[in-house]
Every structure is written in structure tokens, then in C-alpha cells.
């Protein structure tokens, strides 16, 4: 395959793959009242339908991105699409609250495999002078998915039920898997031979789990225990990452690159504000309309 055609194939596959998780994640908020009625879930459990996905995405994004650098980005990306498609179907046929939340968590893990490698694939095949265009198209697909999700998700939920939000990902995912199989040639490995930071990844996952779970049980006294454990784990994580030769997260990026650090801080503030509003506002508008 010629170089130009190979780059176009990678861009197409990466763009479609990045759109699907973003679309599914934003459209599910519209379906939450319907899901709550079917499973008899209160607001806290409904929150975990969305939170379990985002928690898994955050926990596995860094470790699986590192695994991709060590063992192959295409391999992890392909398995991410396979698992995303599988868990889309399994989530749609869930018949209990616990099973639904478990599959949402696994859905987040598979999305982490996609998000952690889609951009990396683009940087692997596009030279520095063309990366701006490629990354811009990829980011656009993510935000088109986030923007279209509530509108299209509302239509799907209204006429086909909440399960349709997950089922539409199945044929789309199968198309992407076929494109990966027949059109995506080669493999890209950046950190071959490096050891994986199991300890750092474990601590990182526990920190996020403790902090998120602690904040969801406010204002109970148990919340304070989990938040303190999370903050203590964060200190341990920073200490360990500074000592290990192959860290799962290079903290030097934050100390040495001010633009990178402030950009991440701005993104944190932006998403921390907007994601909470979209969840609460969706429930509010639908319940008020029914009243």
C-alpha cells in the first residue's frame, strides 16, 4: 500500500473509532430517565451508569496506552474495537442494574484502548508537518460525537428504546474492525523492550477509585476516609513514578513543560464543569417535562 493511501486509511479508521465512544457516552445521558424507570434505579445508581464508564476510561487510559507503546499500537487498538463492539451488545441486553453497571465499566476499559491509541496511530504515520491536520480531523470527530449524541440519542431512545444507543455501535464497530483487518497494514511500537510499570498502574487505579467513590458518597463520614486514602495514594504514586525507570506517567512533562501542564489544567476545569451539568440537566428537563 502506498504511503499516501496508508495515511488516509489510518485517518479514516481513527476518526470513525474516536467518534463512536464519544457519541455513545454523550447520548446515554438522555436515556438515563428511561433506564432508571426500567431498572427501578435512584439518582445515585443512575449516576454510576455514567460514572462507571468514565472511571474505567480514566483508570485504564494511561496503562493501556503504555501497553500499546510496548507491544504494538495497532494490536491494542484492534482489541479495543473488538471489545467495544462486544460490550456494546452485552450492555444492550443487560437485565439487572449490577450487570448493566459492570458492562458499562468494561465499556469504559475498551474505550480507553481506543482513545489511548487512536491519536498515537496518527502521530506514527503522519510527519510533523501534517499532524496538525490529522489531529484536527480526529478531535473534530470526537466533538461531533459529543454534540450529536444528545440529539440522536434522544431520537433513538424515543422511537427505538435506550438499548438502541448501544446496538447502533455494533454494526459500526464491525465495519471498523473489518477496515483494521484488511486496510491497516504494519505495526507501530515505540517502547519495545521496556518493562511495564505494574506497581504505578495499580496505585494510579486505586487513587482514582478511592477519590471517585469517596466523592459519590458525600456527605457521609466514610467519604472522608476514601478521599484521604486517595490523596495518600496520589502522594505514593508521585513518589514511585519519580523512582521507576519506566514510569506509566512521565511526571516530568508537568514540571518541565508549562504549556502542557496549564493546558491539562484548563481541560480539567472545562470537563469538570460541563460533564456534571449535562448529567443533571438531562434528568431535570425530562422529569420536569413529564410533570
Does the bond joining 219 to the residue before it have cis omega, within 30 degrees of 0? yes
- Is the pLDDT at 65 greater than 80? The verdict is yes
Q: Is residue 291 part of a domain?
A: no
pLDDT digits (tens, 9 = 90+) for 231-249: 999 999 999 988 888 888 8
Q: Is residue 26 part of a domain?
A: yes
User: pTM to 2 decimals?
Assistant: 0.89
- Is the pLDDT at 257 greater than 80? The verdict is yes
* Amino acid 2: pLDDT: 47
CA 72 to each of CA 65, 75, 186, 201, 275: distance values in angstroms, whole numbers, following the listed order: 10, 5, 10, 18, 32
pLDDT band at 285; cut points 50, 70, 90:
low
Domain that holds residue 156: 1-193
pLDDT digits (tens, 9 = 90+) for 184-209: 877 788 877 788 999 999 999 999 99
Q: Is 196 exposed, middle or buried (0-12, 13-18, 19+ CB in 10 A)?
A: middle
Cell of 254: 508537568
Q: Is residue 239 part of a domain?
A: no
Average pLDDT, the chain: 87
d(CA 239, CA 234): 9
* Amino acid 170: pLDDT: 94
Q: Is residue 199 part of a domain?
A: no
Q: Is residue 55 part of a domain?
A: yes
Mean pLDDT across the stretch 133-157? 89
Total of domains in the chain: 1
Mean pLDDT across the stretch 67-80? 91
pLDDT band at 290; cut points 50, 70, 90:
low
Q: Is residue 103 part of a domain?
A: yes
- Is the pLDDT at 104 greater than 50? The verdict is yes
CA nearest 10: which of 93, 118, 84? 118
- Is the pLDDT at 274 greater than 80? The verdict is no
Query: For the domain that residue 99 is a member of, what is the CATH number?
Result: 1.20.1250.20
Q: Is residue 137 part of a domain?
A: yes
Q: Is residue 117 part of a domain?
A: yes
* Amino acid 4: pLDDT: 55
Amino acid at each position: 500500500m502506498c504511503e499516501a493511501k496508508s495515511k488516509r486509511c489510518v485517518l479514516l479508521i481513527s476518526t470513525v473509532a474516536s467518534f463512536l465512544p464519544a457519541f455513545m457516552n454523550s447520548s446515554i445521558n438522555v436515556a438515563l430517565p428511561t433506564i432508571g424507570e426500567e431498572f427501578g434505579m435512584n439518582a445515585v445508581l443512575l449516576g454510576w451508569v455514567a460514572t462507571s464508564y468514565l472511571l474505567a476510561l480514566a483508570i485504564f487510559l494511561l496503562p493501556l496506552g503504555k501497553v500499546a507503546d510496548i507491544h504494538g499500537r495497532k494490536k491494542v487498538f484492534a482489541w479495543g474495537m473488538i471489545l467495544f463492539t462486544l460490550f456494546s451488545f452485552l450492555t444492550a441486553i443487560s437485565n439487572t442494574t449490577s450487570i448493566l453497571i459492570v458492562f458499562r465499566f468494561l465499556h469504559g476499559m475498551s474505550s480507553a484502548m481506543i482513545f489511548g491509541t487512536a491519536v498515537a496511530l496518527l502521530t506514527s504515520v503522519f510527519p510533523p508537518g501534517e499532524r496538525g491536520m490529522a489531529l484536527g480531523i480526529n478531535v473534530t470527530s470526537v466533538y461531533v460525537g459529543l454534540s450529536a449524541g444528545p440529539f440522536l440519542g434522544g431520537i433513538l431512545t424515543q422511537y427505538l428504546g435506550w438499548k438502541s444507543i448501544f446496538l447502533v455501535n455494533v454494526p459500526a464497530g464491525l465495519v471498523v474492525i473489518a477496515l483494521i483487518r484488511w486496510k491497516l497494514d504494519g505495526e507501530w511500537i515505540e517502547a519495545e523492550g521496556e518493562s511495564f510499570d505494574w506497581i504505578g498502574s495499580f496505585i494510579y487505579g486505586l487513587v482514582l477509585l478511592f477519590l471517585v467513590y469517596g466523592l459519590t458518597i458525600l456527605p457521609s463520614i466514610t467519604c472522608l476516609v476514601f478521599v484521604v486514602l486517595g490523596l495518600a495514594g496520589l502522594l505514593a504514586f508521585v513518589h514511585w513514578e519519580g523512582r521507576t525507570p519506566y514510569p506509566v506517567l512521565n511526571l516530568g512533562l508537568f514540571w518541565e513543560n508549562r504549556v502542557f501542564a496549564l493546558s491539562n489544567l484548563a481541560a480539567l476545569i472545562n470537563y469538570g464543569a460541563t460533564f456534571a451539568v449535562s448529567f443533571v440537566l438531562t434528568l431535570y428537563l425530562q422529569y420536569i417535562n413529564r410533570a
